[in-house]
Chains A and B, each alone.
Chain A
Amino acid sequence: MKTARFTCLAALAVTVFAAENNSFLLRNATVHPVSGAAIENASVLVVDGRIAGVGPKIAPKGKIKVIEGRGLHVYPGMIDSGSPIGLAEIASVRETVDAGEIGDFNPQLRALIAVNPSSEHIPVVRANGITSVLVTPGSTGGGRGAAAGSLIAGQASLVHLDGWTWEEMEIRRAAAMQLAWPVIRMPRGRGAGIEALLPGLAARRATFAEARRSQQQQVQKIQDFFDAARRYQTAKAAGESIQPDLRYEAMIPVLEGKLPLMITAVREREIREALAFAARERLKIVLAGVRRPGKTLEEIAKRNIPVVLGTTFVTPLEEDDPYDEPFTLPAHLHKAGVKFAFASFGVQFARNLPYQAAQAVPFGLPYDEALKSVTLNPAQIWGIDAEYGSIEKGKFADLIVTDGDPLEIRTQVKMMFIKGVPVDLESRHTRLYKRYSARP
């Protein structure tokens, strides 16, 4: 029943406002600007896609469309800080996956241009209140035959989850350069199993020294690539005539500290090395996928390095870790003063981004921080907070209208606006639902 009503509302929104396009007054709702405290019985005035006013006493100007928001809540649209959405459709079918190019260094690749605006994932994900995604070019790890992870995967692009073409979806063509910090890969032995004890039964494993050496070679490769890019940058700046190189060209904004380098680094060692590298190279970085920062946490905080956290829906890394280790990590970061945002780092469960943030709340993360971590924080981290991330005058009207807290599972998203334009909340899922609910 509830769903049926919600569908009607959404349908109404589309038909009524399609003509009006991107100006309206939403009134009598509880507005959660995120940048400040919630305002009850308030209105949001949207003119030409931008928020023109927020507050309890805003009168409709002229013939503007009025949307009744009684009993509803208005939030900024949520932002997923990392997902190959649009690049990957069916994880196990390589032909449908365009994340993870071959080769170690591909800074010239741009995720945006391969985003499929017709992906069935896009409507599914936005139906849960997510309006924007940082589309990452790196390997998802899934898909048979997918290339093993490269070092620099390419440029991640910020997109809106709506548009006829990827150009229309674009927020920032290049929002970050994606780098995976090399990991020492040691197959862990199985304790005191028989295999470990009987000679001939245990396959010879790589020694730590060997694994370390091969990791250091990877690190050296990164260093060499940066050095070469810098020589290119210097030569170019000096006006020398040089052979144009798209890869080095793409690295210039990173070297200039204009484009953040988003470095995936999970454990303390990789984080430590990545931090040292970034300091040496004077780069602007964002750490991604952090699970066990250990002693580096202090430095991350001190250097104001933002962090993109992956899903909290994982098991503890090690046997002896507290059972709630993945749930408490966001609170630890918050206490240390680290700014972080959440990423789904996937497609299938990208729609669960809000729950991923909410899961940290019963384990110590203040609710407001959880909400920020999927709205204002990512906008700040990706440098679009002047226009996105909160409900403030002058910002774009990326809004969701809900019947409650959008981080709570049972809450329904009733309406969505991207740049003030109402967005369809139907998806493959609702279509199949309707179709088969009506099976005679």
Chain B
Amino acid sequence: MRTIIPAAVLTVSALLAADVTVIRNGTIHTVTKGTFKGSIVILDGKIADVGEKVMTPAGARIVDAAGKHIIPGIIDAHTHIALDSINESSVSVSSMVDVTEMLNPESISIYQALAGGVTVCNSMHGSANSIGGRNVVFKLRWGADARGLVFDKAMPSIKMALGENPKRQGSPQGLQIPGLASPQNLRYPGTRMGVEDVIRGAFTRARAYQREWKDYETRKARGEKLLPPRRDLELEPLVEVLEGKRLIHAHCYRADEILMLIRVFDDFNIRGVTFEHALEGYKVAREIAARGHAASTFSDWWSYKVEAYDAIPYNAAIMHRNGVLVSLNSDDAGGAELMRRLNTEAAKVIKYGGLSEDEALAMITINPAKQLRIDRWVGSIETGKDADLVIYDKHPLSIYSKVEKVFIDGRQYFDRDEDMSRRPKIESEKEGLRKKVLEQQKQAAPQNRRPS
């Protein structure tokens, strides 16, 4: 019995987007096709046309963007927002869990991130495990249910983690679970060597599992009557990785561990991995680029732990110059904080490393889109792509800019003016409800006082 989503839920956004919108006379930062003053035609949620001169269909909704700047919706390749649980930290391989089912569409972080121009994010499992759980890419369609948020065109992925976090439970100082302080409860691994072993071991088991099923299918096809192998939800996602059907986002800091993982992946013929944080990626940028792996990093974080002590704000620039596909992420978990100013985070790669405006904007739009394998649909302002757009009042790389409107699939999900005018209404509704509840309590009171 598969769960069926009401058809209405699925089509609401499509119906609302069926009309035509034209965003006129703004400075359009397409990211991939230059920056110019022009207009964008949105039809059925897609960018139907973009250019200095466009045809405005009759009856189109006009959004005047004179003096404003438009960029593609920001994509945050690494967050943990809107998840009711993030980290199945009890085991070193937690690939059986999927944060998709923890997606909470009511989390206010979604709206806050939206108000910062983010339209897509990759919300991930935590970093307590050498191999973590499965992640979810979703569009910030505030108001939709969990299924309505999920960007199902994105390739499935899984989290991995190297270094201090996955080995913490393997050290007596790190083990802080009450009642578990005894040595036999230490969780392997406790060293970077052990982290490699766990990963290598897991993929070795996955290979054997893959073979076991293949053997079974072959023999079954020959008409043999035999017991199928036990299905293993831990290994199935890893088999998908081996088959190139599932991406890897690997949390890492130090150059040595990045190189280690590259070599493990070489052995298992795993390509197209995104190294997350990769704060020492600049030291092995060449090796990352040589295998076509990518990196998603911070603009200027450092020194919060030992493995971040060699972090430099020039990391993104060096990796980029070495041919690594680089994105900037927020790693936001509790609330959407850094997410809503990824535009100015991008500006930092201009300050530190001297990259161009387009290179900077690419790191929060088209590059993360490529890393998530969604660049066919999002990440730049191009005809045919989803109309995920952000209108800023000033240049988006300026700290003085602010987001005025955000469109996802052509539908306006954030409007600063609307937000402002809604504020007093929220307050008055709350006041009304407080009064109502008080009155109901008064009415119920005599009944409750009756002796029983």
- Are A and B in contact, CB atoms below 8 Å, in the complex? yes
Name the B residues within 8 Å of A410 (CB-CB).
347, 350-351, 397-398
Q: Which of the segments B93-101, B196-204, B228-236, B331-339 contacts the partner chain?
A: B331-339
Among the 9-residue stretches B57-65, B243-251, B310-318, the one with 4 or more Cβ atoms under 8 Å from chain A is B310-318
Complex CA distance for A65 and B61, rounded to whole angstroms: 63
Contact B303 A347 (CB under 8 A): yes
Check A432 against B310 for contact (C-beta < 8 Å). Answer: yes
B interface size (C-beta, 8 A):
52
A429 to B316 CA separation, bound complex (whole angstroms)? 13
Question: A320: which of B109, B310, B334, B430 is its contact (CB, 8 Å)?
Answer: B430
Known A-B contacts A348-B302, A362-B393, A436-B282; the reply to A90 vs B354 at CB < 8 A is no
Measured CA separation A90–B321 after assembly (Å): 29
Query: What B residues does A324 contact at CB under 8 A?
Result: 115
Q: Any chain A CB within 8 A of the CB of B8?
A: no
The 8 Å CB contact of B306, one of A92, A314, A433, is A92
A296 within 8 A of B: no
Given the contacts A315-B112, A323-B112, A436-B318, A408 and B306 also touching, CB distance less than 8 Å: no
Residues from chain B with a CB closer than 8 A to the CB of A319 are 108
Which of B39-47, B371-379, B399-407 lies at the interface? Answer: B399-407
Q: What A residues does B321 contact at CB under 8 A?
A: 437
- In the complex, whether B36 has a CB less than 8 A from a CB of chain A is no
Point out the residues of chain B lying under 8 angstroms from A358, CB to CB: 399-400
Partner of A89 from B173, B303, B393, B398 at Cβ < 8 Å: B303
Give the chain A neighbours of B394 by CB distance below 8 A.
362
B302 / chain A contacts, CB cutoff of 8 Å: 124, 348, 429
Asked whether, in the complex, the Cβ of B398 is within 8 Å of the Cβ of A313, the reply is no
If A320-B430, A409-B347 touch, does A362 touch B303 (CB 8 Å cutoff)? Answer: no
Contact B337 A315, beta carbon cutoff 8 Å: yes
CB distance from A49 to the nearest CB of B (A): 29
Within 8 A of B (CB), among A306-357: 313-316, 319-320, 322-324, 347-349, 351-352, 355
Contact partner of B300 (CB less than 8 A), chosen from A2, A120, A352, A436, is A352
The interface residues of chain B lying within 8 Å CB-to-CB of A359 are 341, 399
Q: A359-B399, A362-B394 are in contact. Are A93 and B305 (CB under 8 A)?
A: yes
B400 touches A362 (CB 8 A): yes
How many A-B Cβ pairs are below 8 Å? 117
User: Which B residue's beta carbon lies closest to that of A311?
Assistant: B337
Q: Is B301 an interface residue (CB 8 A)?
A: yes
**What B residues does A433 contact at CB under 8 A?**
282, 312, 314, 318, 352-353
B426, CB-defined interface residue at 8 Å: yes
Say yes or no: B108 contacts A409, CB within 8 Å. no
User: With a CB–CB cut-off of 8 A, which chain A residues contact B402?
Assistant: 362-363
Query: With a CB–CB cut-off of 8 A, which chain A residues contact B303?
Result: 89-91, 120-121, 347-348
A320 CB contacts on chain B under 8 angstroms: 426, 430
Q: Are B306 and A315 in contact (CB under 8 A)?
A: no
Do A315 and B400 have beta carbons less than 8 Å apart? no
Instruction: Check if A361 is an interface residue, CB within 8 A of chain B.
Output: yes
Contacts A355-B399, A410-B351: A90 and B306 contacting too (C-beta < 8 A)?
yes
Within residues 238 to 264 of chain B, which ones have a CB less than 8 A from any CB in chain A?
none
CB of A409 within 8 A of CB of B318, answer no
A3 within 8 A of B: yes
Chain A contact residues: helix, strand, loop or mixed: loop
Knowing A90-B309, A315-B112, A358-B399, the reply to whether A409 touches B354 (Cβ < 8 A) is no
Task: Tell me if A412 is interfacial: C-beta within 8 Å of chain B.
Answer: yes
Asked if A197 is at the interface of the complex by the 8 Å CB criterion, the answer is no
Closest to A346 in B: B304
Distance between A73 CB and nearest chain B CB, rounded to angstroms: 16
Q: A313-B341, A362-B402 are in contact. Are A91 and B301 (CB under 8 A)?
A: no
Cβ of A407 within 8 Å of any chain B Cβ, yes or no, is yes
Distance between B109 CB and nearest chain A CB, rounded to angstroms: 8
Query: Min CB distance, A54 to chain B, in Å?
Result: 27
Contacts of B109 in A (CB 8 A): 315
Q: Does A1 contact B (CB under 8 A)?
A: yes
Residue B348, interface by CB 8 Å: yes
Q: Answer yes or no: A55 CB below 8 A from chain B CBs.
A: no
Which residues of B, 266-324, contact A by the 8 Å Cβ criterion? 282-283, 285-286, 300-306, 308-310, 312-314, 318, 321
Give the distance in Å from the alpha carbon of A439 to the alpha carbon of B284 in the complex: 10
Interchain CA distance A38-B109 in the complex, whole Å: 41
Rounded to whole Å, the gap between the CB of A313 and the closest CB of chain B is 6
B336 pairs with A315, CB closer than 8 A: yes
Please provide the chain A residues from 345 to 386 with a CB less than 8 Å away from any CB of chain B in the complex: 347-349, 351-352, 355, 358-359, 361-363
Cβ-based interface call for A142 (8 A): yes
B423 CB–A CB distance under 8 Å = yes
Evaluate contact between B305 and A408: CB separation under 8 angstroms. Answer: no
B412 lies within 8 A of chain A by Cβ = no
The minimal Cβ–Cβ distance linking A200 to chain B, given in whole angstroms, is 20
Q: Which residues from 337 to 359 on chain B have a C-beta closer than 8 Å to any C-beta of chain A?
A: 337-338, 340-341, 344, 347-348, 350-354
State whether the Cβ of B111 lies closer than 8 Å to any Cβ in chain A: yes
Q: Which residues of B contact A2 (CB under 8 A)?
A: 354
Question: Counting chain B CB atoms within 10 Å of each CB, which of A121, A322, A409 scores highest?
Answer: A409
User: How close is B415's CB to chain A, nearest CB, in angstroms?
Assistant: 12
Cα–Cα distance between A408 and B348 once the two chains are bound (Å): 10
Q: Which chain B residues lie closer than 8 Å to A348 at the CB level? A: 301-304
Contacts of B306 in A (CB 8 A): 90, 92-93
For residue B419, CB closer than 8 A to chain A, the reply is: yes
B35 to nearest A CB, angstroms? 16
Bound Cα distance A351, B302 (Å)? 11
Min CB distance A344 to B, Å, is 13
Alpha-carbon separation in the docked complex, A313 to B336 (Å): 10
Given the complex of chains A and B, what is the CA–CA distance between A1 and B393 in angstroms?
30
**CB-defined contacts of A347 to chain B, threshold 8 Å:** 303
Most buried by B among A2, A324, A361: A324
A317 to chain B, nearest CB (A): 10
**New A-B contacts (14) at CB < 8 Å, excluding given A313-B337, A410-B347, A437-B318:** A3-B354, A90-B309, A92-B305, A92-B306, A315-B334, A316-B335, A359-B399, A362-B401, A408-B400, A409-B348, A432-B282, A433-B312, A433-B318, A436-B318
**A and B contact pairs by CB, cutoff 8 A, 23 listed:** A1-B354, A2-B354, A90-B303, A90-B304, A90-B309, A121-B303, A315-B109, A323-B111, A324-B115, A348-B302, A359-B341, A359-B399, A362-B401, A362-B402, A409-B344, A409-B397, A409-B398, A410-B351, A410-B397, A428-B312, A432-B312, A433-B282, A433-B352
Closest 7 CB pairs of A and B: A315-B335, A433-B314, A92-B305, A409-B347, A429-B312, A358-B399, A362-B402
